[in-house]
Amino acid sequence: MNNQAKILGITFDTMHTFGAHCRDTAKKCSQRNNALKALAGTDWGSDKETLLMTYKAVVRSKLEYGAAVITPTLSESNIEKLQKVQNSALRTITGCHAMTHIDHLHQETSVLPVRRHLRMRTIQHHLANHLPDHPGNQLTKEPKNPPRLMKETLQTRYEERYIEPLLDSNRPLTEKKYRNLLKTIHTNEVRDALQTYEYPAVLGHNPPKIAKEETELPRTTRRTLAQLRSGYSKFLNSYMNRIDPTVSELCPDCQQTSHTTIHLFDCIANPTNLTPADLWKQPKKTAIFLKLPTTLDPTTSDE
C-alpha cells in the first residue's frame, strides 16, 4: 500500500511531514550540484558570481519549490537534508574546504540558510494572500488559534508573528504596499541572519563586505582568499598539519609560531601594514603581499 502521493511535484505523506519530499529533493539537487562542480575548476572555472547565479537558478529553485506548502510542518531534520545540499554547493562556489564553518559559507556568498530562506519565501507568499483579489485571500479568514490544532498552517504559524505587524488593520493591502513589504520581509530575514552568524575566527567580529575589486582577480586567487578568510587553506601549514601530521605547523619563514591566517599578517619575517581584515577590504593588495596571481591568466595555478 502506497501512503504517499505526488501532486504538482510535491510528495505528500499521511502525516504531512514531507520527509519523503525532502529526501527526493535532496537527491535530485545533489545530482544538479555535480553539474555545478563541472563548472568550477580550480584554475579555469567560472567566477563565483556566475556559479552563484547558476546555483540559484538550477539548484535552489528546486530546494524552495512548494515552500509555502511544506515549510509550516517541516522538522529540523528534514530541513537539514536540504541544508546539506546547499552547503555542498556553497563549498563548490567558494572553493572552501569541508571543515569550513557553515556560517562562513553563507557570509561569503550572501546566501541565507535554507531554513531562513524557506521561511522568508513562505511569509512572502502568505502576505500575497492578503491582497483583496488574491485567490488565497480566504485563508486569511481562518482562525489563528483553532480549538484543535493538528498541524501548523500558514495562518497559525505566520499570521500573528510575521504578517500582522506589517499590515494596517484599517486599510486593505494595496499592490504598491505589497511590493514594498516583500522587500521589508527580505531585509528583516537577512538582518536577523547576520545577527546569528558566528564571527570569523580570524577577525573576532562581524566581517566587512568583500570589496568589489576582488572580482578582478583570477579564480585561483579568490579561492585562496576565501579559504584564508575561513582559516582553513592549503596555503597554511596549520591546515596541512591537520591533514598530514608529518608537516610542521610552524611558519616556514620564521619557524616560531603556528602558520595561521592571523600569523600571515604578524610574521616578523614578512612585516606588513596589512591586517586580516584586509582579506575583505583590500583583496588586491593582500594578494600581492601573499604573492598570489593577480591577473586573469588561465595558465596560472595555485596547486
- pLDDT tens digits in sequence order for the chain, 303 residues long: 578 888 898 989 888 889 999 999 999 999 999 989 888 876 666 889 999 999 999 999 999 999 999 999 999 999 999 999 999 999 999 999 999 999 999 999 999 999 999 999 999 999 999 999 999 888 888 777 777 777 888 888 898 899 999 998 889 999 999 999 999 999 999 999 999 999 999 999 999 999 999 999 999 999 999 999 999 999 999 999 999 999 999 999 999 999 999 999 999 999 999 999 999 999 999 999 999 999 865 444 433
What residues make up the domain containing 238?
212-289
User: Between the CA atoms of 101, 105, 106 and 111, what dihedral angle is there, to the nearest 10 degrees?
Assistant: -150
Domain boundary among 167, 198, 229: 198
Let me know if residue 302 belongs to a domain. Answer: no
pLDDT for position 238: 95
C-alpha distances in Å from residue 199, one per residue of 63, 156, 194, 205: 27, 34, 10, 5
pLDDT for position 147: 74
Q: Please check whether residues 231 and 95 belong to one and the same domain.
A: no
Task: Classify 230 in phi/psi space as left (phi over 0), alpha (psi -120 to 50) or beta.
Answer: alpha
C-alpha distances in Å from residue 269, one per residue of 240, 254, 258, 282, 291: 21, 6, 14, 21, 15
Beta bridge partners of 12: 5
Radius of gyration of the CA atoms of the chain, in A = 23
Let me know if residue 193 belongs to a domain. Answer: yes
Helix (H) or strand (E) holding 6, with range, is: strand 4-7
Q: Please check whether residues 168 and 245 belong to one and the same domain.
A: no
Task: Classify 250 in phi/psi space as left (phi over 0), alpha (psi -120 to 50) or beta.
Answer: beta
| Residue 298 near residue 44 (C-beta atoms within 8 A) | yes
Let me know if residue 184 belongs to a domain. Answer: yes
| Residue 166 near residue 179 (C-beta atoms within 8 A) | no
| Residue 164 near residue 173 (C-beta atoms within 8 A) | no
Q: Please check whether residues 188 and 227 belong to one and the same domain.
A: no
Let me know if residue 206 belongs to a domain. Answer: no
Let me know if residue 156 belongs to a domain. Answer: yes
Q: Please check whether residues 58 and 117 belong to one and the same domain.
A: yes
Amino acid at 95: G
Least Cα distance to 103 among 88, 113, 91, 93 occurs for 113
Overall domain count for the chain: 2
Which grid cell is 175?
Answer: 499592490
Q: Can you tell me the distance from the alpha carbon of 275 to that of 257, in angstroms, rounded to the nearest whole number? A: 17
Let me know if residue 203 belongs to a domain. Answer: no
Nearby residues of 274 by Cβ (< 8 Å), 6 or more positions away? 265, 282, 285, 286, 289
Let me know if residue 47 belongs to a domain. Answer: yes
pLDDT for position 297: 58
